[in-house]
Chain A
Amino acid sequence: MIDGEARLETVQTVAMSLTVNGEPWSGEVPVEEVLLDLLRGRIGLTGTKRGCESEVCGACEVLVDGAPVSSCNYLAFEADGRSITTIEGVGDGEQLHPVQEAFIRNAAAQCGYCTPGQIMSAVALLREDLSPTYESIAHWLVGNICRCGCYPAIARSIMEAASELRDSTNDHPR
């Protein structure tokens, strides 16, 4: 896949294919490109934000095969063959995800810059545990910083969305 012998003056690229929010994408990507730049620059999905670029703030969070990562510090070629979910893909068409609905209902954002990352963390948490506690929410979202200080509304939104998702799972057992 990777040609390690070419001269350093030339850019080493990787031919890669991945799916983003269920849509396939293929292209050549320089090895030093991070996933954030692939998503925002090449694919045009700008919902994922550039923040601290140090894996601390969580604004750039996306899910890679369901697992949260900092796309600012994740080399794009690593996503070859994988499935990426960004904030644009958590809803179902025009239908927002229950976490998104709850964020709106609770005004869980002021400036909104951290919100995509907050929601990605919340969605990942609820995929793993539909009965979170305030403590488990704090443990999961400690890596999503909100400088507007909306944490109480964010946590309440996640609790409400969890409750809704539990109810709908009970209504429609799989």
Chain B
Amino acid sequence: MLSPFRVVTPTTIPEAAAELDRLGDAAQIYAGGAELLLLMRHGLLEPDYLVNIKRVPSLRGIDWDGQALRIGAAVTHRELEQAALVHDHAPTLGEAERHVGNIRVRNQGTLGGNLCFADPHADPGTALLVHDATVTVEGARGPRQLPLDDFFVGTYETALEPSELLTEVQVTPLPDGWGWSFERLERFYRPTVNASAAVSADDGHLGQVRLAVGCVGPRALRLRELEDKLRGLRLADAQRAIAQSGPYLEERLEPVSDLLGAADYKIHVTSVLLGRALEQALAGTGGRQ
């Protein structure tokens, strides 16, 4: 049984922000409920109010504005998994979405909810980081835009201010000719480790490189120092460099031992998945069939 609560149902973003401002700590944002209702059932959260943002039409769309994909925060994982626009412009995200939870979780859970919950064991964030995705958050004082990289702060922690809600995620496609990949090792639905790569090729060598890893530590991260090191290398040399980067990965990712794996195991799996991700992304450069 869930403890009693009340539901308020704004129909615009300013209304939603005003409700959050008015209700303060007594309210939680309710989108799909996939994560929130679990926390409430286990008594970890007991909000007096749920601010139901599903009736705000502008939070429900997937649009292409000619430069970026604009995804409303209340779009479900299943909608993203099936959207042609996502597969055309951000297939990395489409692949990550295909693996979220199970079919029921994907029907109910939303991208915004997933990002705001900031569970480190999540897939979409890792894929979005290689796209340099940005997010718009909106509160009583108006909207602001920030990189997803700055939105993620730590375990269950984001840059959202108390009365703010995430309204939109902007995803820029990878440049022409780049290859991409999303690799994942899973136990009990939630990924133990995931890794995403996006690369360009330059005469058989790696050109530009973007790497992101999730689930290992408190939050999903880009590995910019490693990306710099791999630029210009041949695949085999790059994979060797990854295999030798254990100390860097450990320092950067701050691995946490949990039911999904011990810290040293996660670092080992990370380097294996990164090597595979790089190989697969490189194979897809120059246009993917």
Contacts and interface: CB of A to CB of B under 8 A. Distances in A.
Interface residues of A, number: 32
Interface of A: 1-2, 4, 6, 8, 11-12, 30-32, 34, 53-56, 58, 61, 64, 67-70, 73-75, 77, 121, 124, 139-140, 142-143
Contacts, number: 83
A34 B33 CA distance: 11
Contact of A2 (B3, B8, B78, B107): B8
A30 B15 CA distance: 24
A74 B102 CA distance: 15
A143 to B, nearest CB: 2
Nearest to B9: A2
Contact of B101 (A6, A12, A55, A77): A55
A61 B104 contact: yes
A140 B98 CA distance: 10
B4 A30 contact: yes
A55 B9 contact: no
B108 A32 contact: no
Interface of B: 1-9, 33-34, 37-38, 41, 48-50, 78, 98, 101-105, 107-108, 188-189
Contacts of B189: 56, 142-143
B6 A68 contact: no
Nearest to B76: A67
Contacts of A77: 7
A140 B105 contact: no
Given A53-B41, A70-B104, A74-B108, A32 B34 contact: no
A2 B30 CA distance: 15
A171 B105 CA distance: 36
B9 A143 contact: no
16 contacts: A4-B8, A4-B49, A8-B48, A12-B4, A12-B5, A12-B7, A32-B1, A34-B2, A54-B38, A56-B102, A70-B108, A73-B34, A73-B108, A143-B101, A143-B102, A143-B103
B5 A31 contact: yes
Given A4-B9, A68-B103, A11 B4 contact: yes
